[in-house]
Amino acid sequence: MQTLKKIRLRSKEERRFRSGHPWVFSNELQESPKGLLMGEVVELHDSGGGFLAYGFGNPHSLISFRELSRDRDSGFFSEGRVSVDFFRDRFARARAFRKSWFSPDQSHRMIYGESDGLSGLILDRFCGEKMVVDVIQPHSAGMDLHLDSIMKALGEPQDRTGSIPEKMQHYAVLRRDASSREKEGIDRLPVVVMDLRSKTEVRDPEFLRNFRFCVSGIMGSSIFLSADLISGQKTGFFFDQLQNIRLLETLVLRKIRNDRGFLTARVPGDSRPFRVLDLCSYVGQWSVHLLQTLQEREVLPAEFTCVDASAPALEFAKSNLDAQSRASGTEDRVRIHILKADVLESLPGISEKGYDIVIADPPAFIKNRKSLPQGKQAYVQLFQTAIQKTAPGGLVVCCSCSQILSPEDFTEVLSKASRRSGRRVRWLAQGSPSFDHFTRSTFQEGHYLKCMIGQVDEVGAAD
């Protein structure tokens, strides 16, 4: 059996890795990683030659080592590769955890990279009525090299925690189009769709460009949404906001129950609808969940305005809202507007202080350290707009998925936005990523999502 190549840490660079961080950077190694093959499995040793971990090596990335296992006797690694059994084991662990939080028919993130011990691998599972679609994003050279083993492990019969019924079709979508691959030295490639039952490539995957799937709804119910799994952003959808949506729903339900002022549109003689403004709406998941909440409490009529720079995304948002209103027989009491616009520019037709709930959930404005100042200013501008559009006593939701933006910077941004809006905001609740995006305390890079929900003051005085 071929032995694995060994790389060693510098003596003063061991503390972070020993504390649990799964990455090693090239400047932390004793020798240059240039002799490694891209994505091969290597052994990491300390400066004295003691074994630390198995992982992927990469001579073309700043991240020269990505941890896979610290168990020297695991038996999963040889000849520079990872065995299929390793992926079977990691997938089983991931399914066992998620069964506590998601029913088998609810879509979710099944693999979240380092958190699930699979550095550089993202896998979102979309559960439809007749098929299951796994969208796979390999962001590291090592995962890209092992796609055959990943696909084999996914396509095999699974244990009771994750079995897909035989009557269900099972597909895998390989999304190797992310720009992050370039940092790993791997090419961006066209999307490939595989039928995991027949183990053949799907030549005409157009049915996945408008795929309808189930997600968890209010109080244990379900909601169906549609998205483009072939060319939509990331994997086609964002599961990370589900817990924050739950938090907003909880606040809305409580406010509806206790504060008739939140329901002034429903007093006799007043026909003004409950109004929601969804900035950077993408396919409209925040709005659809809120519509279900309002339907549950019979807070209708309601009006939803979705704003996004993408025309295709807005069509999905409108379609998803239409479908939810039809499903409950309330389409005559729900109005839907879409506006294709840059949220950092003027928004024609969007009134000041005119919306009971305003959501600002933008894409990452900050891609690297160099863009931090400009990105912070963009967040201030967007959140200021969101606050100004919120009716007195209404709720505003402000989010950032920029990992580089620290929690302290996020708080600073919110403070500036509130002051510049000329209105006081009482920040009520701090959100977190969904349970399928759980993080390791030693890997804060995985804790990128930030969310705050506030109530805009009736008085309108800034802090």
Please say if the pLDDT value at position 460 is more than 60: no
| pLDDT-based confidence at residue 444 (cuts at 50, 70, 90) | confident
Using one digit for the tens of pLDDT, what is the confidence trace for 346-385?
Answer: 999 999 999 999 999 999 999 999 999 999 999 999 999 9
Is residue 385 in some structural domain? yes
Cα-to-chain-centroid distance, residue 38: 28
| pLDDT confidence of residue 458 | 66
The pLDDT value given to residue 259? 75
The angle formed by the CA atoms of residues 44, 49 and 51, to the nearest 5 degrees, is 45
CA distances from residue 21 to 10, 24, 67 in whole angstroms, order as listed: 16, 8, 9
339 shares a domain with 407: yes
* One domain for residues 292 and 441: yes
Residue at which a domain ends, from 62, 81, 100: 81
Q: Residue 158's pLDDT band (boundaries 50, 70, 90)?
A: low
Q: Where do the DSSP E strands lie in 80-120? A: 81-82, 108-112
- Give the pLDDT of residue 160: 45
pLDDT in tens, 324-348: 999 999 999 999 999 999 999 999 9
| Residue 116 within any structural domain of the chain | yes
Q: Are residues 46 and 142 in the same domain?
A: no
Helix axes 407-421, 372-389, angle to 10 degrees: 50
Query: Are residues 389 and 446 located together in one domain of the fold?
Result: yes
In whole angstroms, what is the distance from residue 223 CA to residue 216 CA? Answer: 6
Looking at residue 343, its amino acid is: V
Q: What is the pLDDT of residue 220?
A: 76
pLDDT at position 276, please? 97
| Residue 234 predicted with pLDDT over 70 | yes
- The tokens for 391 are 């009716």
- Confirm whether 425 is domain-assigned: yes
**% of the chain with per-residue pLDDT over 70:** 94
Q: Which residue has the tokens 């305003």?
A: 358
Residue 269 pLDDT > 80: no
pLDDT tens for 142-152 read 999 999 999 99
If asked whether residues 92 and 73 sit together in one domain, one would say: no
Residue 323's domain is classified under what CATH number? 3.40.50.150
Report if residue 223 sits inside a domain.
Answer: no
Q: Are residues 395 and 271 in the same domain?
A: yes
Residue at 261 is within a domain: yes
Long-range contacts for 29-37 (Cβ within 8 Å, ≥24 apart)?
29/64, 29/65, 31/7, 32/59, 33/7, 33/57, 33/58, 33/59, 33/64, 33/65, 34/59, 35/5, 35/59, 36/5, 36/7, 36/64, 37/80
Q: Mean pLDDT throughout 136-145?
A: 96
The residues pairing with 121 across neighbouring beta strands, listed in sequence order, are 138
Query: What mean pLDDT is reported for the chain?
Result: 92
Q: pLDDT digits over 72-81, tens only?
A: 998 999 988 9
| Region for residue 80 given its phi and psi (left: phi exceeds 0; alpha: psi -120 to 50; beta: otherwise) | left
**Residue 222 in domain:** no
46: domain CATH number is 2.30.130.10
Same domain? 281 vs 168? no
User: Residue 461: which residues within 8 A CB-CB, separation 6 or more?
Assistant: 423, 424
Let me know whether 36 and 123 are in one domain: no
Enumerate the β-bridge partners of residue 201: 194
Q: Which pLDDT value is given to residue 164?
A: 81
Residue 421 has pLDDT above 90, yes or no: yes
Domain containing residue 257: 238-456
Q: Name the 3-class secondary structure at 146.
A: coil
Domain-terminating residue out of 81, 102, 119: 81
Q: Is the pLDDT of residue 265 over 70?
A: no
Domain boundary among 29, 60, 81: 81
**CATH number of the domain where residue 169 is located:** 3.30.750.80
Are 398 and 342 part of one and the same domain? yes
The DSSP bridge partners found for residue 355 are 390
State the total domains in the chain.
3
> Does 218 have pLDDT greater than 90?
no
The per-residue pLDDT for range 159-187, each reduced to its tens digit, is: 544 568 888 999 999 999 998 899 899 99
- Residues 312, 413, single domain; the answer is yes
Same domain as 293, residue 185? no
Average pLDDT over residues 237-245: 96
Does residue 365 share a domain with residue 297?
yes
Average pLDDT score over residue span 428-450: 93
